[in-house]
Amino acid sequence: MSQPSATEWWRTAVIYQIYPRSFSDSNGDGVGDLPGITKRLPALAELGIDAVWLSPFFRSPQKDAGYDVSDYCDVDPLFGTLADFDELLQTAHGFGLKVIVDMVPNHTSDQHPWFQAALAAGENSPERDRYMFRNGKGKGGATPPNNWESVFGGSMWNRVARPDGTPGQWYLHIFDSSQPDLNWENPWVREQFERILRFWLDRGADGFRVDVAHGMIKKHGLPNYTPPAEAASMGGATDLAPTMVDPQPIAEPPYWGQPGVHEIWRDWHRVLAEYEGDRVLCAEAWVDPLEKVAKWVRPDEMNQAFNFAFMFTAWRGPALRRVIKESIKAFSGVGAPSTWVLSNHDVVRHASRLALRHDSPQGAGIGPKSPGKPDRAVGLRRARAATSLMLALPGSAYLYQGEELGLPEDIELPDSARQDPTWFRTKGEKYGRDGCRVPIPWEAGEPAFGFSASGKSWLPQPSDWGAYARASQAGKPGSTLELYRAALQLRRRYGLASARLEWLRGFGSAVVAFRVAGVTVISNLGPKSVDLPDAEILLASETIVDRVLPRDTTVWLGS
């Protein structure tokens, strides 16, 4: 690992993802908001994290839960006001927490004034050139410009009408038809985003998580592309390592990970470098292999990229060891920290995913009719072991709200409650991501388990979620919350995140074992128990009896 500088806080940071709709609702409308977050910040400060990343709270028609932005420089009234953001930021800074904003540059909402202007201005106008408009093929241009399939299902192209009502051009949308892709080859678009970045940096934001950073440049000529049938992805078309199985290299889609993105990151890097306090850029980049992801975090580009290869590694010793080795090698090769992540708002929560008996591709979700439903106890036990392993790894770690409570995926969410465009665009074939987005429980006996005083919740909470409430777990030995707290405290105390990892051998292939900053970390993923060396147990994901490490358990040992 490269040596962290004292000021580059993000190299070792634990960054907690807040999904604002589902964190804490202050006004009783059933949707979480910024004042709700501010009110609950003490709980996060107590947990021992370093930063929060807020999923989008900008003005938006909310067709994709805020990832469809109609004004990048304002807060959606659903979440509050700019003044609420300023207060949140100030309060967080008061607790020593950094605040990372989610920037969505690949596409806007179709309600954004830029897109409305593009529709009004007509073909071949400068306004249309800000987006990806093309003429259709075939008779009357009735066939889409190419065969690309949207990540959320259906064609990636939507046809617009001319002012006289006759069918006109098509526009590209990698995601929902309400999310038209911007044309990042157009300097005007680049200038606008520089202004937007500065707007939030001037307000004091500590950096950006960059949404769909891998999609912003498309291959010239927009050639046809057919994804391999079994590709695991946000929509069946990706070069991401398949989930739960060993990675196989597959053909590169012409809309993901094109080399032109690096020029954009260099520009953004220069903008952030003008500001004090080590502002950070973190890429959401579903690209494969890790060496390619590492190119995005070269010294003059972004600072971090999510490690999705780690997230989707099967719960198997050899696979985990390999991905950890490859991550450290790839990222340290460019002087960047590796990141580690197990859950976010787009994937099945790891307390369920790690016990799935069938592959669940990224974004596809699981629901009442999914085969091979996960066993809750097995899932939670593996999740606790996996997180205990992750938080000992050198680099920066991302947590997703609710995982510190051991929350499972909500598998029984009724179809009538679903809101993810994936569910609608695939006509119910894929459940989508609502199951990991259900509002989190704070106090067991309160309305909506403390999420909202009115008892409303934009997605219904399972009736048994009181058992996961934060207040019920706080101070309770052995609870998942206390496990997270202890791990975060020890990680900081021993400086694990900035240390060098040395592998330990001789435990067998189902065991992942290493030493870091004088701490021995052993995860047993296999059925055979492991005799533990005689050393102080600093942390254990389950109770350890007779110095024997059972299946699906991680320990940290002192010297």
Q: Which residues are known catalytic residues?
A: 211, 274
Amino acid at 210: V
Site string for ligand GLC, 178-217 (x = CB under 6 A): ---------------------------------xx-----
The two tokens of residue 441 are 């429980």
With CB under 6 A as the contact rule, the residue among 10, 72, 131, 175 that binds ligand GLC is: 175
When the beta carbons of 64 and 301 are compared against ligand GLC, the nearer one is 64
Q: Tally Cβ neighbours within 10 Å of residue 366.
A: 25
Contacts of 328 (CB under 8 A, 6+ apart): 1, 338, 394, 395, 501
Report in angstroms how near the CB of residue 64 gets to ligand GLC at its nearest. 5
Positions 277 through 336 that interact with ligand GLC (CB under 6 A): 284
When the beta carbons of 234 and 525 are compared against ligand GLC, the nearer one is 234
User: What are the backbone angles phi and psi of residue 144, rounded to the nearest 5°?
Assistant: -55, 150
Q: Which of 235, 241, 230, 269 is nearest to 255 (CA)?
A: 235
- Residue 143 · residue 135 · CB < 8 Å: no
Site string for ligand GLC, 67-86 (x = CB under 6 A): x-------------------
When the beta carbons of 89 and 213 are compared against ligand GLC, the nearer one is 213
Q: Which residue has the tokens 């949404």?
A: 211
For 488-534, the three-class secondary structure string (H helix, E strand, C coil) is HHHHHHHCHHHCCEEECCCCCCCEEEEEECCEEEEEECCCCCEECCC
- Residue 230 · residue 242 · CB < 8 Å: yes
Report in angstroms how near the CB of residue 345 gets to ligand GLC at its nearest. 6
Residue 322 Cα distances to 202, 290, 310, 313, 528, angstroms: 41, 12, 10, 9, 21
With CB under 6 A as the contact rule, the residue among 33, 50, 64, 278 that binds ligand GLC is: 64
The two tokens of residue 472 are 């019920």
Report in angstroms how near the CB of residue 400 gets to ligand GLC at its nearest. 11
Report in angstroms how near the CB of residue 212 gets to ligand GLC at its nearest. 5
When the beta carbons of 216 and 392 are compared against ligand GLC, the nearer one is 216
When the beta carbons of 436 and 538 are compared against ligand GLC, the nearer one is 436
Q: Which residues of 176-186 are buried (b: 16+ CB within 10 A; e: fewer)?
A: bbbbbbbbbee
CB hemisphere CA count around 9 (13 angstroms)? 18
What is the sign of the dihedral through the CA atoms of 18, 22, 27 and 29? positive
Q: Distance (Å, rounded) from C-alpha 369 to C-alpha 348?
A: 15
Told to check if 346 binds ligand GLC by CB under 6 A, we report yes
Q: Distance (Å, rounded) from C-alpha 385 to C-alpha 525?
A: 9
Q: Which of 281, 275, 541 is nearest to 390 (CA)?
A: 541
When the beta carbons of 344 and 480 are compared against ligand GLC, the nearer one is 344
Told to check if 110 binds ligand GLC by CB under 6 A, we report no
Report in angstroms how near the CB of residue 211 gets to ligand GLC at its nearest. 5
> Which residue's beta carbon is nearest to the bound ligand GLC?
67
Site string for ligand GLC, 228-257 (x = CB under 6 A): ------x-----------------------
Q: Distance (Å, rounded) from C-alpha 207 to C-alpha 327?
A: 23
DSSP-assigned beta bridge partners for residue 519: 516
Report in angstroms how near the CB of residue 370 gets to ligand GLC at its nearest. 20
Report in angstroms how near the CB of residue 60 gets to ligand GLC at its nearest. 11
Report in angstroms how near the CB of residue 305 gets to ligand GLC at its nearest. 13
When the beta carbons of 200 and 308 are compared against ligand GLC, the nearer one is 308
DSSP-assigned beta bridge partners for residue 100: 53, 207
Which DSSP category does 47 fall into? H
Report cis status (omega within 30 of 0) of the bond before 35: no
Q: Distance (Å, rounded) from C-alpha 160 to C-alpha 170?
A: 6
When the beta carbons of 364 and 389 are compared against ligand GLC, the nearer one is 364
3-state secondary structure of 463: helix
Q: Tell me, by CB under 6 A, how many residues bind ligand GLC.
A: 10
Q: How many residues does the chain have?
A: 559
Report in angstroms how near the CB of residue 374 gets to ligand GLC at its nearest. 22
When the beta carbons of 19 and 494 are compared against ligand GLC, the nearer one is 19
Positions 133 through 172 that interact with ligand GLC (CB under 6 A): none
Instruction: Could you list the beta-strand ranges (E) of 292-394.
Output: 304-305, 339-341
When the beta carbons of 208 and 315 are compared against ligand GLC, the nearer one is 208
Told to check if 434 binds ligand GLC by CB under 6 A, we report no
Determine the straight-line distance between the first and last CA of the chain, rounded to whole angstroms: 23
Positions 453 through 512 that interact with ligand GLC (CB under 6 A): none
Amino acid at 56: P
Report in angstroms how near the CB of residue 263 gets to ligand GLC at its nearest. 21
Q: List residues binding ligand GLC (CB under 6 A).
A: 64, 67, 104, 175, 211-212, 234, 284, 345-346
